[in-house]
Amino acid sequence: MKIAFFDSGIGGLSVLHHAMKLLPDEEFVFFADEDNVPYGTKPREMVMNFVDDVFRFLLTLDVKAIVVACNTATSVAVREMRRRYDLPIIGMEPAIKRAIDLYGDRRVLVTATPITINGEKIHSLIDRLGKRDIVDLLALPRLVDFAERQDFTSNAVTDYLREQFRPYCFEEYSSLVLGCTHFNYFKDTMRELLPDNVKFVDGNEGTLRELMRRLNLLPSNVTKNQKSKVEYYFSKRKVTSVEELHSINIYLDRLDKMFSI
C-alpha cells in the first residue's frame, strides 16, 4: 500500500522530497489540489470542504496513511478528518517548538499563510510553550502564488520579501520558521535578505518522524540512486503528460538545491 502526501498545491513536494530520501523503498501518492490552490486566503469552511473531498478521493487509492503536507489544511481540518476517517493521518504545524529547542530563547519569526497565522491551533501552541513574548507571526500569502508560477528569485519576489521583512530587527532573532510548505522554495532568496544568525527551521523532518513512528518504519541509511515510485495527481486528475511531469521535476530539482540551506 502507498503513503499519500497531500497539499493545496506544490508546497507538499518539499515534504515528499524529504520522504523519498528517508524511505526510498516506499511507494507514494502525491496530491496537489491545483484546482483550489491557494487555501490560505480562503474561508476556513471552504477549506474544510476541499480537504474532505480530497480525503474521500485518496481513500479510493489503496493508501495506508495520509500525510497532510500543508500547515493550512492541518490547522483547519486535521482534527475533523481524524474523527471521520480511520487510518493514520499525520498533520503539520509550524515548527516553533523545534526552533526554540534548537536555539533557545532568542526571538523567532514564524511565517505562514493567513489562515494558519489567525487560526486557534498556532495560538494555543504558542501559549502551551509559554513563549508569546519571543514569537512573532508574519503571513506571506504571495509566496504561494509565486511558487505555483515557479517564480522563486525574480525582482518581484525579492521586493515583496524585503518589504515584508522591513519591520523586523533580525539581529535579535535566532530563526525563521517556514510554516507553509510552499515557502521552502525561497530559502536562497530569503538567505540573501537575512543576516547569518537567522537559521531556517521547517516541520518536514518532525512530520516524517511521526509518520515513521505511526507506521513502524525505519529510515534507510543508504542513499539510493533509483527514483521512488510516485503517482502524481493534480486535483483528481492523474498527471501523465510529459510537460507536467517535467514541471514537477523542476520543483524537485529546486528542492535538492534548497535542502542544504
Q: Round to whole Å and give the CA distance between 245 and 138.
A: 33
- For the question of residue 70 being annotated catalytic, the response is yes
Q: Single out the residue of 54, 19, 15 nearest to residue 34, CA to CA.
A: 54
Binding mask 146-165 for ligand DGL (x = CB under 6 A): --------------------
Cβ distance to ligand DGL smaller for residue 43 or 220: 43
Supply angle C-alpha 77, 6, 119, rounded to 5.
30
Nearest of 201, 198, 205 to residue 184 by alpha carbon: 201
Q: Which of 70, 115, 177, 178 is catalytic?
A: 70
CA distances from 226 to 20, 24, 36, 229 (A): 10, 8, 32, 9
Helices (H), 85-203: 96-103, 114-118, 120-129, 142-148, 155-165, 187-193
Cβ proximity to ligand DGL: between 5 and 165 the closer is: 5
Q: Does 71 bind ligand DGL (CB under 6 A)?
A: yes
Residue 235 CB, shortest distance to ligand DGL, in Å, is: 13
Interface stretch with ligand DGL, choices 31-39, 103-111, 127-135, 243-251 (CB under 6 A): 31-39
Rounded to a whole number of angstroms, the minimum distance from the CB of residue 194 to ligand DGL is: 20
Question: Rounded to the nearest whole angstrom, what is the least distance from the CB of residue 183 to ligand DGL in the complex?
Answer: 8
Q: Which three cell numbers stand for residue 50?
A: 476541499
Backbone angles phi, psi at 139, to 5 degrees: -85, 135
The length of the chain is 261
At CA 150, angle to CA 19 and CA 122, rounded to 5?
55
Asked if 5 interacts with ligand DGL (CB under 6 A), we say no
* Catalytic hit among 10, 112, 143, 180: 180
Q: Which of 77, 180, 208, 255 binds ligand DGL (CB under 6 A)?
A: 180
Nearer residue to ligand DGL within complex by CB, 65 or 70? 70
Residue 111 binds to ligand DGL (criterion: CB under 6 A): no
Residue 94 binds ligand DGL (CB under 6 A): no
Q: Is 169 a catalytic residue?
A: no
Residues whose CB is less than 8 angstroms from the CB of residue 146 and which lie 6 or more positions away in sequence, other chains included: 152, 154, 156, 157, 160, 186
Report the residue from 40, 55, 91, 248 that binds ligand DGL according to the rule CB under 6 A: 40
Active site residues: 70, 180
List of residues contacting ligand DGL (CB under 6 A): 7-9, 11, 37-40, 70-72, 113, 116, 144, 180-182
